[in-house]
Chain A
Amino acid sequence: MDDRPSEPDGFRDFVEARSNALLRSGWLLTGDWPSAEDLVQTALAAAWPRWEMLTRQDAPELYVRKIMVNTFLRWRQRRWNGEIATGRLPELQAYGDAFAQIDARQALIAALDRLPARQRAVVVLRYFADQTETQTATAMGCSVGAVKAHASKALARLREAPGLAELMTGGVAS
């Protein structure tokens, strides 16, 4: 007998269409794929039983992103252990230009690791997920003013991150 829970209508279409984008957001939040997968799966599993209501409100993605961000913030509170991320992994420097793309990713994640969790979440929602300030505020459960403040502080920190200015003005192609 199949004991899997029944699949909500439209859930599969959403997962197939949006899992890529959600995973990439998850990667920017967490810095690695296994954690990103865990984050996305957590959010989608939370959305599953509420799917009908979410689709009626035309807000499944907003809800999923909200769960992702809140889960990420909770993880950061729980998991942060005082490590300070280095700028890059030392082994990558020996391989020359072929690893430039990987170096760029490492530099980006290292720069994001320097941000407090809420600033990082704002960067991902506003500048990668293309959410408005209002949507970002809704997802994070804070005011629009707080979103603006987090964004401003994050930009100031990223400006000082090693190698990131070059990436923002051109840098390595994906």
Chain B
Amino acid sequence: MTTEERQLAEMLHRITPEPPRPVTVEDIAHRVARDNGREPRRRLTARRGWAPTLAAASVVVIAAASAGVATVLTSHGTHPSGGGTPASPVSQSASSTPSSASPAQTAPGGTPMRVADGVWGAELINRQSLDQESLTGSGDSLFAFGHGSLARIDPGTGNVLRTTPYSAPLPGRPIVVGNTVWVVWSYSGGDITLRGYDTRTLAQVAAVPVPAIGGVSSTASGVLAAGPDGQLYLAAGDTVATVDPAAGRVTHRIYLTAGQASSVAVAPDGSKIYVGTGSFQLLVYDLGTGVQASSSRMPGSGGNLLATAGGVWGTTGSGMSEWVWFAPGGDLRSSFRVSQGAGGGLASLPSLSGGAVWIGGTHELVCASPATGKAMVRTAIPADQGIVRYFGSVTVLSSGRAYALYQDQRANLSGVAALTPPQACAG
């Protein structure tokens, strides 16, 4: 090779970016099946859902007598953070094609089945493995991720009504703004893409590329949030990007003073945005001016931020379990632990729905005050012959009914559970 050829080769290797996600064997299998004239499987069984996660986890329950609770030790499931890559759909054309689940394809809802000894009236309304913490609700529908799909689920029957190819690159839930379900499609290196889907048909209606200045955080979790104004806020490297869903583009950026954004949450009144960086610093910005209002630190990891009227919530790893904490006013110096959320490789992300903050996990179901962070009701989740059960991703629909993802590894049960929380959770 000549010098010029060597320079060209070096430049190509240096500048060509890393792909946002790998091609997987499942992608190829899907395409081979399609090319052979057969449609691939449509039933929802988790590829990166909780069932395999738990199956791979060695769960040991040790009675922690002094604390009076069970501590779960496990080979903790890791999130593909930072270089997170969703499994790609079979092709571009297929990626934008939602599937209407025919009765034959519909995962059976069947008769609701009482589970977890009926804690909070829990009834399993379907039998699906869905990605943990991916459930959210809006209007009369539930949305969740599982088996390379975003699914719309009928809360009345538990049936999957629609699916569209999607696999989450990071832990988190879909975000519903108006008639659009927004998801993080890719999140890797310097490139992020958001996609929007129609809430009824799940047809793709938007794709917004968002360059991540400085590259995405390697500890990202909970990177997308919606403000009360309907704008989307995205942790995008050294910045937080504001995305106007209507315009489908980045309209503003906040340039952080410290580190890469790993998690964002917007105050319900739209006055502040909370940004998690590094391990672990919480930055608070005035959304009106973009000026940093405060910052505080806590030891260890942090993320999965949720903002409520009284402050900000998040998770932290403690040993092999996740704890949920609350920081009044967004000041970590006065933060306190609200609930020991999950073990067994499972995560427990707080959610704000129906006027309360909900925390699931493997230990207890908690509803807490959005204003004070104080638990209003705590109910232990009974173990199944020594093996933990799990509730997560609690969401309350406009009908007033609550739903959560449920897993009982010993009984090999998983799916969406309908809950009837205690009246005290209504505040």
Contacts and interface: CB of A to CB of B under 8 A. Distances in A.
A89 to B, nearest CB: 11
A contact patch SS: helix
Interface in A92-141: 95, 98-99, 101-102, 104-105, 108, 123-124, 126-128, 130
Of the listed residues A42, A101, A105, A173, the one surrounded by the most CB atoms of chain B closer than 10 A to its CB is A101
From A22, A28, A127, name the one whose CB has the most chain B CB atoms within 10 angstroms.
Answer: A127
A37 B23 contact: yes
Given A45-B35, A167-B15, A11 B25 contact: yes
Q: Indicate the member of B24, B88, B90 with the most A CB atoms within 10 Å.
A: B88
Interface in B25-71: 25, 27-33, 35-36, 38, 40-41
A128 B16 contact: yes
Contacts, number: 136
B29 A20 contact: no
B8 A127 contact: yes
Contact of B5 (A38, A155, A174): A155
B148 to A, nearest CB: 12
A75 interface: no
B23 A28 contact: no
B117 to A, nearest CB: 34
A128 B20 CA distance: 19
Given A99-B213, A158-B8, A174 B17 contact: yes
A83 interface: no
A5 interface: yes
Given A3-B38, A123-B8, A127-B5, A44 B23 contact: yes
Nearest to A159: B4
B19 interface: yes
B309 to A, nearest CB: 35
A168 B8 contact: yes
Given A20-B22, A40-B23, A102-B190, A173 B35 contact: no
A4 B16 contact: no
A5 B211 contact: no
Contacts of A104: 15
A98 B250 CA distance: 15
A142 interface: no
Contacts of B24: 15, 19
B92 A34 contact: yes
Contact of A7 (B25, B38, B88): B25
B286 interface: no
A174 B15 contact: yes
Contacts of B20: 33
A2 interface: yes
B384 interface: no
Interface residues of B, number: 45
B214 interface: yes
Interface residues of A, number: 55
Given A15-B25, A127-B5, A24 B18 contact: yes
Contacts of B191: 33
A41 interface: yes
Interface in B185-243: 186, 190-191, 211, 213-214, 238
Given A5-B33, A34-B92, A171-B11, A24 B28 contact: no
A24 B8 contact: no
Most buried by A among B17, B19, B238: B19
Contact of A168 (B11, B40, B91, B238): B11
Contact of B17 (A7, A27, A128): A27
A12 interface: yes
B190 A108 contact: no
Contacts of B95: 34
A77 interface: no
Contact of A172 (B4, B15, B22, B35): B15
Contacts of A5: 29, 32-33, 36
B29 A4 contact: yes
B91 A28 contact: no
A36, A37, A167 interface centre (most CB from chain B within 10 Å):
A37
Given A4-B41, A19-B23, A24-B18, A44 B33 contact: no
A19 B211 CA distance: 23
B14 A173 contact: yes
Given A37-B92, A128-B9, 4 more contacts: A15-B28, A41-B28, A49-B32, A123-B12
List of 3 A-B pairs having minimum Cβ-Cβ separation, nearest first = A23-B19, A127-B9, A19-B23
29 contacts: A3-B33, A3-B40, A4-B30, A5-B36, A15-B23, A19-B24, A23-B23, A24-B18, A27-B17, A34-B92, A34-B95, A35-B92, A38-B92, A41-B23, A41-B27, A42-B31, A45-B31, A95-B213, A98-B213, A102-B211, A108-B11, A108-B15, A124-B12, A127-B5, A128-B16, A171-B14, A171-B15, A174-B15, A174-B17
Interface of A: 2-5, 7, 11-12, 15-16, 19-20, 22-24, 27-28, 33-38, 40-42, 44-45, 48-49, 95, 98-99, 101-102, 104-105, 108, 123-124, 126-128, 130, 151, 155, 158-159, 164, 167-169, 171-174
